Amino acid sequence: MRTFDIKPLDRSLLPELQDKIDNLTKPKGSLGTLEELAKQIGMIQHTLSPVLSVPQNVVFAADHGIVREGVSFSAPEVTAQMVVNFSKGGGGVNMFARQHGFRLKVVDCGVNADLPPIEGVLERKIRKGTSNYLHEAAMSVEEMERAVEIGAEVVDMVAAEGTNVVSFGEMGIANTSASSLWMTYFTGIDLRDCVGAGSGLAAEGVKHKYEVLSRCMKNYRGDASTLDIIRYFGGFEMVAAVGGMLRAAELGMIVLVDGFIMTNCVLAAQRLYPEMKEYCVFGHCGDEAGHRLVLDYLGAKPLLSLGLRLGEGTGAICAYPLLVSAVNMINEMASFKSASVTKYF
């Protein structure tokens, strides 16, 4: 599989970043998380004056074979219908992208439908959905590698457009099931605590989903390596997001992380390249069962907690203004010296 050269953050500039922030006209530490964000972004970009350029959100779309087992509240045809809706600007992610000045890319990497060419949708279909991992691996090794390449390719596209902060989203009915399995295998957290309502299952539906996924784990005969778990239970859209995140980190971009599914993509990506997590800013803690647990496992501090569970990258985009505030703080606030203000802490 493709390899990535992801460098640990260079912390040599941290003392100067801290000094600059501490000498802005405010009590020391009084802007809390914004100060931590400014330092992280400054280290990612290795500058005392960071900038955010051409933010983009990439939505990868694909279907899951496990949907045939009744693990989702939503009908399987919704994936294809929502891709069309995105192309027309009608999705939640479209609205937030317009509000916050994001460019949006939608990528079909495995939708189970014969979609015609659609303006605004990149056609990169591997095949029409993954296999049913209750009985067999979701994808072959070659398909997994292709999904990683698709993610990296799209990040190269956004980087060529001047983007230095990118978020990822997903559209794929039943992808919370795949995420729950990645989570339990990669964290050791009991599957029962990883399984939630997804797009709207009631208690009985969540119980059925848990029972199906338990059977999937019992039927699994792989070697339990990181790559095999990714391949066996993943979705094409999720593996593409992993590839995109790794390439973005390799390029020194800020990776703005969305909800439960994308957090589990970070979980998978950092199993392969631990350094990539330093480039991640976690946008929010969502309302899907297990999201807080996986965030805690990663040691992540999400910026927002709004009860969101839509996916698509919506929570990440909603958090973006806080990155803008952090960058504006370090660049635009006067220092005590320049403003002739006596330090008051």
Residue 266 lies in a domain: yes
Please list the active-site residues.
312
Instruction: Name the percent of the chain lying above pLDDT 90.
Output: 96
What phi and psi, each to the nearest 5 degrees, are found at residue 275? -65, -20
Instruction: Quote the pTM value.
Output: 0.96
CA 300, CA 111: separation in Å to the nearest integer? 31
Amino acid, single-letter form, for residue 118: I
In sequence order, the β-bridge partners of residue 282 are 257
Bigger pLDDT: 100 vs 1: 100
Q: How many CB atoms lie within 10 A of CB 197?
A: 18
| pLDDT for 289 beyond 90 | no
pLDDT band per the 50, 70, 90 thresholds, residue 107: very high
Where b means 16+ CB within 10 Å and e means fewer, 108-142 reads bbbbbbebeeeeebbebbbbebbbbbbeebbbeee
| pLDDT for 199 beyond 90 | no
Q: What is the pLDDT of residues 133-150, one digit of tens each?
A: 999 999 999 999 999 999
Q: If you average pLDDT over every residue of the chain, what do you get?
A: 97
Residue 62 lies in a domain: yes
pLDDT of residue 345: 79
CA 126, CA 145: separation in Å to the nearest integer? 11
What CATH number should be reported for the domain holding residue 150?
3.40.50.10210
Structure tokens at 87: 């192309």
DSSP letters spanning 135-154: TS-SS-HHHHHHHHHHHHHH
In sequence order, the β-bridge partners of residue 256 are 167, 281
Using alpha carbons, select from 316, 338, 343 the residue that is nearest to residue 97. Answer: 316
Residue 270 lies in a domain: yes
Contact (CB, 8 A) for 112 and 171: no
| pLDDT for 198 beyond 90 | no
Residue 334 lies in a domain: no
Q: What is the pLDDT of residues 9-39, one digit of tens each?
A: 999 999 999 999 999 999 999 999 999 999 9
Residue 38 lies in a domain: no
Phi-psi category of residue 128: left, alpha or beta, with phi > 0 → left and psi -120 to 50 → alpha = beta
How far, in whole angstroms, is CA 51 from its chain's centroid? 21
Residue 79 lies in a domain: yes
The pLDDT of 293-307, averaged and rounded, is 97
What phi and psi, each to the nearest 5 degrees, are found at residue 106? -115, 130
CA 335, CA 339: separation in Å to the nearest integer? 6
pLDDT band per the 50, 70, 90 thresholds, residue 171: very high
How crowded is the C-beta side of 229, counted as CA atoms within 13 Å?
21
pLDDT of residue 271: 98
Domain, as residue range, for 79: 56-328
Structure tokens at 54: 């051409």
Residue 48 lies in a domain: no
Residue 96 lies in a domain: yes
| pLDDT for 156 beyond 90 | yes
Q: How many domains is the chain built from? A: 1
Residue with tokens 């003392």: 15
